[in-house]
Structure 1
Amino acid sequence: MLIYLNGKLVKKEEAKISVFDHAFLYGDGVFDTLRTYNKKILKLDMHINRLFKSARIIGFNIPITKEEMKDAIKQTVEANNSAAVSEFRIRVTVSRGEGDIALVAECKPNIVVQVTELKKSASEIYERGVSVITVKLERPLPEAKTTNCMMQVVAKEKANLVNAYEALLVNNENEVTEGATTNVFIVRYADGKSNLKTKVITPNKDVLEGVTRYIVVELIKDLQKENIEVDGKNIELELRQIKKDELYSADEIFITSTTPELVPVILVDDKFIGNKKPGKVWKLLSEEFGKYRDKYD
């Protein structure tokens, strides 16, 4: 395996960062995770824009241009390409860099691009759905994807202890913001009374705007424009905060992220959701995402 490190491709065992790097000392850096489809990177520009935005939010400049970053990623994928690997998972990390042991110091950022083989998610999670838990935690600087992942680590550890697939973060206002590594959507079916349309709801405040989330939101908007119906009812997108209690009364829940795409949730805090199986809106959106993905060039 070859790793991109500050402009050079080096062997895994030669890729080393100083113990004085501020990402090691303080979690002071940014990263992004990408994946390939047919060896092509989906939404590369959007991932790069988010990486640079994250760096701006925490107050440092990435020392290469966006085009140079894209070239570095493509170069790393190509250098590791082989017939034995069907798809890649790509991790781009930019640390603030090596400096004095002080919260604020003069540093030169380090840029690392790593690729690993992308393993397919188990078909079982899509066929049966997954369980999740809620955890009272808030991620600092939620709009930035930083290397300070302690809140996500704690949340994931809590999920692992009860064999849950994911942990959903709940803030001090008792609002669900996002998952430890995912974005969350809930679905409320039309009831013919106060709710005349089937609503798909996702938080839009204090969250990292996931690339898969963005695509799904755009797909829902397209379905709205085309008046596509589910069980004779139109779909409507709502971007707003979700109260924790709304999870338990939702007709469907699904979570999104780059690698597994759209994952149906059937259990939250040991409470079954809807009809206890992956729902029809999730199925429709998964199919639409598949069409989008397959035609992507």
Structure 2
Amino acid sequence: MKIWLNGTISDARDARIDPSDRGFLLGDGLFETMLALHGHILFADEHMLRLGAAAELVGLPLPFSLAEIEMACADLLDENGLDDAPRASVRVTVTRGPGPRGLALPAEPKPTLLITCAEMGAPPERLSLVTATPRRNPWSPSSRLKALPYMDNVLAKEEAREKGADDALLLDTNGNVACASAANIFFWEDGKLVTPSANCGILPGITRAALLELAPDIGIDVSEEEIAPARLSRFSGAFVTNSLMGLVPVTRIDGRDIPAHSMTARLAAAYELLLDAAEDDE
């Protein structure tokens, strides 16, 4: 596999990242994961804008322009023979680079920027969830960013696996429903689409944003709310979203079966049309 590292494409086995890199030592960095269909990276501009905004927020100077990073992603797909793959993932990782020991920021940061890609299979047809122990912290700036520290998510996912579920359902520190381990979540309630609000410690996902804009266009009312776990028993359907999976129905939460909702299929079909249009615009 070939990777793109600091402006150079090379074999992954030949790449070298400084052992003092703060991304490795402290999780001091950001990332974006994108879906490519037949070499076309979906919502690339939105991902790049989110990366740029996050980097500015945490004071991490990007070593390349957003346009250069986007072009590098396309070049890497081509170099790996994935420019015509039905589905591929592209990940951009940027760290603050090497630095001295301790937490203080380096006086003159030299960020590391890594891009990788891989062919993907089809997303799962359905998922089961179980409420996990780790909580999302709405007060943490990193909860709203694609930041490198993902230990809580990793532990939540493993806890779900040990309990026989496909993924975790995470609450925030106020006890409200937040998200899955690496996905946003939506529920159907009385014909309305409900999703946790941005103040529940969620990452505002790119697919989530697309659905919030798309749903009203096809006659679906949608609301961002604080959702207490007690409401889960009243929901008539659920699904999770992220850039790689799209929309995946949730069929079970904490041992309770969640019925299939006809509107999920309708919304998923509308989203697929949106992706098809994005591909045609290439």
- Compute the TM-score of the two structures, normalised by the length of structure 1: 0.87
Query: Is the 8 Å Cα contact of residues 9 and 76 (structure 2) preserved in structure 1?
Result: yes
Aligned partner of 1:98 in structure 2 is 98
Cα distance per residue 1:202-240 (max 9 Å; x no partner): 12222211111111111112123xxxxxxxxxx311111
Paired residues of 1:248 and 1:268 also in contact (CA < 8 A)? no
Instruction: Measure, in 2, the Cα distance between the counterparts of 1:110 and 1:76.
Output: 17
2:174 paired residue number: 173
Shift of 1:241: 1.6
Please name the residue that 2:29 is paired with. Answer: 29
Question: Which secondary structure state, in structure 2, belongs to the residue aligned with residue 86 of structure 1?
Answer: coil
1:146 aligns to 2:133 (yes or no)? no
The equivalent of 2:243 in structure 1 is 258
Distance 1:61 1:184, change over 3 A: same
Report % sequence identity. Answer: 29
Is residue 187 of structure 1 aligned with residue 188 of structure 2? yes
Measured after TM superposition, the shift of residue 80 of structure 1 is 1.3
Instruction: Establish whether residue 237 from structure 1 lines up as the match of residue 219 from structure 2.
Output: no
Residue 280 (str. 1) matches residue 262 (str. 2) = yes
Give the letter for the 2:117 counterpart: V
CA shift, 1:83, in A, is 7.9
- Where do 5+ consecutive residues of structure 2 fail to align? none
Offset at residue 46 of structure 1 (A): 0.3
**Highest CA radius of gyration, 1 or 2?**
1
Is contact 1:53-1:144 (8 Å) kept?
no
Counterpart for residue 127 of structure 2: 130
C-alpha distance after superposition, 1:117-136 (max 9, x if no partner): 111124xx2xxx32101124
Q: Considering only aligned residues, what root-mean-square deviation do their CA atoms show, in Å? A: 1.6
Q: 1:25 offset after TM fit, Å?
A: 0.5
- Partner Cα separation in structure 1 for residue 188 and residue 177 of structure 2: 14
Q: 1:65 to 1:83 in 2, by over 3 A?
A: closer
Relative to structure 1, the CA distance from residue 187 to residue 48 in structure 2 (aligned partners, 3 Å threshold; closer, same or farther) is same
- State the one-letter code of the partner of 2:215: I
Aligned to 2:192: 199
What's 1:64 paired with? Answer: 64
Structure 1 letter corresponding to 2:261: G
**Unaligned 5+ residue runs, structure 1?**
190-197, 225-234
Counterparts of 2:273 and 2:165, CA distance in 1: 29
- Structure 2 equivalent of residue 232 of structure 1: none
Change (3 A) 1:82 1:133: closer
The CA deviation at 1:182 is 0.2
Go from structure 1 to structure 2 and tell me whether the alpha carbon gap of 1:82 and 1:49 turns closer, same or farther (over 3 Å shift).
closer
Q: SS of the residue aligned with 1:61?
A: coil
Question: What TM-score, normalized to structure 2?
Answer: 0.91
> Whole-Å Cα distance in 2 between the matches of residues 159 and 52 of structure 1?
33
Seen in structure 2, the aligned counterparts of structure 1 residues 148 and 208 have a Cα distance that, compared at 3 Å, is same
Provide the rounded CA distance (Å) in 1 between the counterparts of 2:166 and 2:212: 23
What code does the residue aligned with 1:118 have? M
